[in-house]
Amino acid sequence: MHYIDLFAGAGGLSEGFIKAGFEPVAHVEMDRAACYTIKTRLAYHHLKKAKQTSKYVDYLRGKIDRDALYATLPKGVHDSVINATISATTLPSIFERVDALTRGKKVDVIIGGPPCQAYSLVGRARDANGMKNDARNYLYKHYASFLKRYQPKVFVFENVLGLRTAAKGMYLADMKECFDNAGYHIADDLLNARDFGVLQNRKRILIVGWHKDLGIEGMPDFDRGSWKYSVADLLSDLPSLGAGEGQIKNGRYRRKTTAYLKKSALRNGIDVLTQHFTRPQSKQDLKIYSVAVKRWDNGKERLRYTDLPSTLRTHKNTTSFLDRFKVVAANEHYSHTVVAHISKDGHHYIHPDLEQNRSLSVREAARLQSFPDDYYFEGVKADTPRTAAFKQIGNAVPPMMAAAIARAIKARL
C-alpha cells in the first residue's frame, strides 16, 4: 500500500509506516534540512532492501559524502522528497509533482500533521494574540485538498493536545467538518507515546478518516502495552560527555546494548554511533544544572526558578515558566515531553548524570523520541548543525508510536 506524507518533518511518522510495510510515494516538507534527512533515510531503506547497507555504514563512518550516498538512489525515490511550503499558491505545482510520482499507483493512505505551534498551549501563551492570526491555523484545509484529489482509503492526522482547546475547540470542530465534506468518516483519540514503548510522556491527538465508500468507522485497535524500563536503560551505553563535546560521525558505544535498546531496536546492529555531541554552555548554566540534578537526586524535587539564589538568576520573570530548568530523570519510566524548543537551549533537558553536567546530546534526544541510532539528521549543509537536528527531533512523531498506528491501520484495511 502506498502513502503520501504531508508536513513530513524529519520523517518520524513515515518511518513507522515504512516499518509496517507501506511504501512512500511522496514526502512534502517546507524545511530544507528535514528534506535532506528524509532523503538520507530513504537511502538507508533502499540500500537495506538491496542488501547493500555497507554503503550506508560508510556514510555514517564519514568514508563517503552525502552526494555519494544520494547517488545510490533511483530517480523516482530521489524526486519523491518535495521541498515546498503547502499553500494555496503552491498547491498546483505540488500536485503536478505528486501526480508524476503516482502514475500507475493508487494512493491508499495520506499521513501527516500541520505545524503544531498554532495549536500548542505554549505557543499560544508566548504569542501576544494567542496565535489567532497565524495562517498555520488553517493548513488543514490544504490537507483536505489532497484528500479530495487523491481519494485515499484512509488518512492519519497527528497533532498536539492543544488542538482540542484552541479557539475553544473551533478549529477541531471545523477540521472534522472539512474532512467529512471531503468524503471521510472521522474518529479521533488521545494517544500517549509512552503506551507504545517510547520512554517519553508525550500526549497527542490522532484523527483518522476512513473513506465513506469503505464502510469503516471508528478508531483502529492499537496494540498498547506496558514497558517496564527506565530512562537509564536508554542512556547507559553512550559515552560520557561534557558540554560542547562529542562526535558527529564514526563514534563508538561505551558498553554493550541494554534489554530495552534490543527490544525497541533503537540500537539495531549497525555498530556505529553518530551525532552523540552536545552544545557548549556557560559556567552559569552549568552551575544551575548542577543544582537541578542534586535537587532531583536528593529528594526527587524539581527545581523552580525562584529556588535559585539571586546570583544565578538572569531573568526578571519570576511568575511564569518557572520550570525552565528540568532534569531528564534516569530513574523514571519515561521523560517529560521533548519539544522543538530544545533547539533554542538545553535547559529543559538536563542530563541526569551530575559528573557529565550538561544538556542532552542530539543522539540522546533522538532516542527519547524513539529514532533508531542509524537515523541520521541532516543540516542544509552536510555539517549537521545541532540546531537543525534538535528542531527536527523535537517536532517529530516518535517512530515507535507511528509504527503501532500504521500496523493498526493496515490490520483494519
The three cell numbers of residue 309 are: 539564589
C-alpha neighbours within 13 Å on the C-beta side of residue 92: 1
**Are the CB atoms for 52 and 71 separated by under 8 Å?**
no
Q: Which residues pair with 258 in a beta bridge?
A: none
The three cell numbers of residue 256 are: 554493550
* Ramachandran angles phi, psi of 270, nearest 5°: -85, 110
Residues 6+ apart with CB under 8 A from 36: 66, 378, 379, 380
Measuring CA to CA, which residue among 203, 153, 158 is closest to residue 410?
153
What count of residues does the chain have?
413
- List the catalytic residue out of 116, 166, 273, 393: 116
User: Is 116 an active-site residue?
Assistant: yes
Residue ranges of the alpha helices (H) in 27-139?
32-49, 53-61, 66-70, 75-79, 91-101, 121-126
Residues 6+ apart with CB under 8 A from 104: none
**Are the CB atoms for 344 and 356 separated by under 8 Å?**
no
Residues 6+ apart with CB under 8 A from 318: 305, 306
- Give the number of other Cβ atoms within 10 Å of residue 389's Cβ: 27
Residues 6+ apart with CB under 8 A from 58: 64
Residues 6+ apart with CB under 8 A from 181: 144
Q: What is the DSSP letter of 100?
A: H
3-state SS, 280-349, equals CCCHHHHHHHHHHHHHHHHHCCCCCHHHCCHHHCCCCCCCCCCCCCCECCCCCCCECCCCHHHHCCCCCC
Q: Which residues pair with 29 in a beta bridge?
A: 83
Q: What is the DSSP letter of 240?
A: P
DSSP, collapsed to helix, strand or coil, labels residue 305 as: helix
Residues taking part in catalysis: 116
